[in-house]
Amino acid sequence: MTTLTEIAANRSFGGWHKRFRHQSAVLGCEMVFAVYLPPAAERGPVPVLWWLSGLTCTDENFMQKAGAHRVAAELGIAIICPDTSPRGSDYPGEHDSYDFGSGAGFYVNATAAPWSASYRMYDYVTQELPALVAEHLPVSQCQSISGHSMGGHGALVCALRAPEHYTSVSAFAPITNPTQCAWGQKALAGYLGDDPGSWNAWDSCELIRGGAKVAGILVDQGDADNFLHDGQLRPEALAAVCEAQGIPLTLRMQPGYDHSYFFIASFIEDHLRYHASFLCP
Amino acid sequence: MTTLTEIAANRSFGGWHKRFRHQSAVLGCEMVFAVYLPPAAERGPVPVLWWLSGLTCTDENFMQKAGAHRVAAELGIAIICPDTSPRGSDYPGEHDSYDFGSGAGFYVNATAAPWSASYRMYDYVTQELPALVAEHLPVSQCQSISGHSMGGHGALVCALRAPEHYTSVSAFAPITNPTQCAWGQKALAGYLGDDPGSWNAWDSCELIRGGAKVAGILVDQGDADNFLHDGQLRPEALAAVCEAQGIPLTLRMQPGYDHSYFFIASFIEDHLRYHASFLCP
């Protein structure tokens, strides 16, 4: 039995926000994650929304800034926020840039040295952490996934590669097509090596083009998002490939909204209710 | 005409979160404050809730963590968050402790050197900043005030000393009786000098005992708040003096809640609706 150490607990909207530390075998280091448990979790297992955060974030950003607890409490859904990279290593350059290395794991399984030894966030998020949570917390196997920016990419990739794990998927301003943007090319080359052919397995658009299926996708994107205008997000690429492959995509361009947590807070209720319609039939 | 420099603007719940920099004559330094403008502010002046934050905070904590924009947007109320101290000085010891000096202005007008030269947060919050805001932003003269911890103390003191400025007052886990707790004694001795007689003008309980009046007070207090158990907050003292002086106090002890922003987020909707009942008749 794996040990989970509670390092924080705060009452929130009648439920609990908690943070736990544990030893990750997949990542080879101690990790921290956060969970919001709604009041309904005191009566039995509740469904889960996994939230994957963006560059530079930890387990804390979404819990503190998204204003999601209120509706999660109402709907009886737990929220789990993993960290965004392994935290125990100190590879050359690991902590030098905001968009690669620590805080920027991109939810892939790295294959290039030295990262391959520990940067296996995909296996951590889809396998190890769900098993740990199922062992220790009052959650059911009914699970959805969402995220922001790099974490929106992560949510889409997780749902497309492991559709049996998630009843629904959504994203805020996701990096939809990392093989075709600067953030993604830097990360994928670093974690996977220089052969772009190996990158497609971690690109939502390429996964869909290759036949991966999900029942539907909800995406919110601010039209004043500077990373949209820099070409990092490419929702138009996701729209085109979903159209071509017959995957229902609801892409909402939100006028005037940027890439911040104010944007996420403004629309998280819609996403929670969307996931609840699948999680809590 | 004073200059206001916009340093950030984010769409939020159909309105705007903005941060402004300005030169404060009262404090003798550049200051930053934040405002949430609801959608209704595009059509004309809206009422205001002033929010005073606690120790170590800036204008950002409440805006990012309280989840208040949603209901403020619905009710058509602006929220303004000042910083918690002057930021331009460098007195001996000013930046050494979390509970005195920078980030800990206690919303008083200091009279002891060197603090008296700039630590005049009461005048800043009740006079200079309201005048500046009235000049530049679409707000009405219908204004309420609230705050957390040191800022709850500030909100109560502002409302008791300047009742003509505020239609209603509330607080989360306020320092109600600073002359009788460690935080308050340190701050008041530092800013006002060693004569405790001069401290009473900045103590809510002493102001009420001395005859200061407000129409009513709403206070939420978590019963698992470690600062409550340390004797820093003393809601029982506020309850006793309000009872003695006939001031209607609604003191809600919230079971299991601590001193964090999760506590504030859980109950801010109630406070916004409470203030709206006075602000938006």
pLDDT for residue A281: 58
| Nearest one of A118, A183, A120, A122 to A150, comparing CA atoms | A183
pLDDT recorded at residue A88: 86
- The answer to whether residues B159 and B169 touch, using CB atoms and an 8 Å cutoff, is yes
Contact A157, A166 (CB under 8 A): no
Strands A139-147 and A46-52: parallel
Question: Which pair of tokens denotes residue B216?
Answer: 């009513």
Beta carbons of B11 and A257 less than 8 Å apart: yes
Cα-flanking dihedrals φ and ψ of residue A210, to 5°? -85, 0
Give the integer Cα–Cα distance in Å for B114 and B223.
Answer: 38
User: What is the number of other CB atoms lying within 10 angstroms of the CB of residue B216?
Assistant: 14
User: What's the average model confidence in pLDDT over A123-152?
Assistant: 97
Nearest CB partner across the interface for B11, out of A13, A258, A269: A258
A222 CB neighbours in chain B (<8 A) are 11
Whether A65 and B69 lie within 8 Å, measured CB to CB: no
Q: How big is the A-B interface in CB pairs under 8 Å?
A: 67
pLDDT (0 to 100) of residue B1: 62
Closest among B183, B173, B190 to B261, alpha carbons compared = B173
Place of tokens 């935080």: B183
Using only C-alpha atoms, chain B has a radius of gyration, in whole angstroms, of 17
pTM (predicted TM-score)? 0.97
Q: Which pLDDT score is estimated for B281? A: 57
Question: In 3D, which of B2, B280, B4 has the Cα closest to residue B143?
Answer: B280
Q: Which two tokens stand for residue B100?
A: 């005195």
A49, A272 contact by CB (below 8 A): yes
Best of B7, B10, B254 to mutate (most A CBs within 10 Å, chain A): B10
Asked whether residue A255 carries a pLDDT value surpassing 80, the answer given is yes
Judged by CB atoms within 8 Å, which residues 220-259 of A form the interface with B?
222, 224, 254, 256-258
pLDDT for residue A108: 98
> Checking phi first, is residue A183 left (phi over 0); if not, alpha (psi -120 to 50) or beta?
alpha
- The confidence band for A279, taking pLDDT boundaries of 50, 70 and 90, is confident
Phi/psi of residue A159, nearest 5 degrees: -70, -35
B17 touches chain A (CB under 8 A): yes
Which regions of chain B are under pLDDT 50?
none
Please say whether the beta carbons of B187 and B109 come within 8 A. Answer: no
Q: Which of A81, A254, A262 to mutate to test binding with chain B, by most B CBs within 10 Å of its CB?
A: A262
How far CA A162 is from CA of A137, A213, B180, in Å, comes to 22, 10, 59
- Please, which pLDDT band fits residue A1 given cuts at 50, 70 and 90? low
**What is residue A198's predicted lDDT score, i.e. its pLDDT?**
97
What is the tens place of the pLDDT at every residue in A98-120? 999 999 999 999 999 999 999 99
Looking at this protein, which amino acid is placed at residue B198? S
Q: Nearest chain A residue to B69 by CA: give it.
A: A266
| One-character DSSP codes across chain B | ----EEEEEEEETTEEEEEEEEEETTTTEEEEEEEEE-GGGGTS-EEEEEEE--TT--SHHHHHHS--HHHHHHHT-EEEE--SS--S---TTTTTBTTBBTTB-TT-B--STTGGGT-BHHHIIIIIHHHHHHHHSSEEEEEEEEEBTHHHHHHHHHHHH-GGG-S-EEEES----GGGSHHHHHHHHHHH-S-GGGGGGG-HHHHHHTT---S-EEEEEETT-HHHHTTSS-HHHHHHHHHHHT--EEEEEETT--SSHHHHHHHHHHHHHHHHHHH--
Active-site residues of A, by number, are: 149, 225, 259
By Cβ distance, the residue of B254, B260, B269 closest to A10 is: B260
- Non-local CB neighbours of A67 within 8 Å, separated by 6+ positions: A265, A268, B67, B70, B265
- CB contacts, 8 Å: B268 with chain A: none
The answer to whether the Cβ–Cβ distance between A13 and B260 falls below 8 Å is no
* CA B77 and chain centroid, separation: 16
Q: What per-residue confidence (pLDDT) applies to B118?
A: 96
Residues whose CB falls within 8 Å of the CB of residue A34, separated by 6 or more in sequence, listed in order:
A17, A18, A19, A20, A59, A60, A63, A80, A81
**What is the distance between the alpha carbons of residues B147 and B173, in angstroms, rounded to a whole number?**
9
DSSP result, chain A: ----EEEEEEEETTEEEEEEEEEETTTTEEEEEEEEE-GGGGTS-EEEEEEE--TT--SHHHHHHS--HHHHHHHT-EEEE--SS--S---TTTTTBTTBBTTB-TT-B--STTGGGT-BHHHIIIIIHHHHHHHHSSEEEEEEEEEBTHHHHHHHHHHHH-GGG-S-BEEES----GGGSHHHHHHHHHHH-S-GGGGGGG-HHHHHHTT---S-EEEEEETT-HHHHTTSS-HHHHHHHHHHHT--EEEEEETT--SSHHHHHHHHHHHHHHHHHHH--
Shortest alpha-carbon distance between residue B252 and chain A (Å): 15
From chain B, the residues in CB contact with A12 under 8 A are 262-263, 265-266
Q: For testing the chain B interface, which of A266, A267, A268 should be mutated: the one with the most B CBs within 10 Å? A: A266
| ω into A114 cis (within 30 of 0) | yes
**Distance between CA atoms of B103 and B111, rounded to whole angstroms?**
18
The catalytic residue positions of B are 149, 225, 259
Q: Are A136 and A184 in contact (CB under 8 A)?
A: no
CA A20 to chain centroid:
18
Position B197 scores a pLDDT of 95
Give the distance from residue B68's alpha carbon to the nearest chain A alpha carbon, in angstroms.
9
Could you tell me the CA-to-CA distances from B186 to A272, B101, B182, B183, B199 in Å, in that order?
A: 46, 11, 6, 5, 11
Chain B residues with CB under 8 Å of A224 CB are 11
Residues 63-82, chain B, touching A (beta carbon < 8 A): 64-65, 67, 69-70
Partner residue facing B266 (CB), from A12, A258, A269:
A12
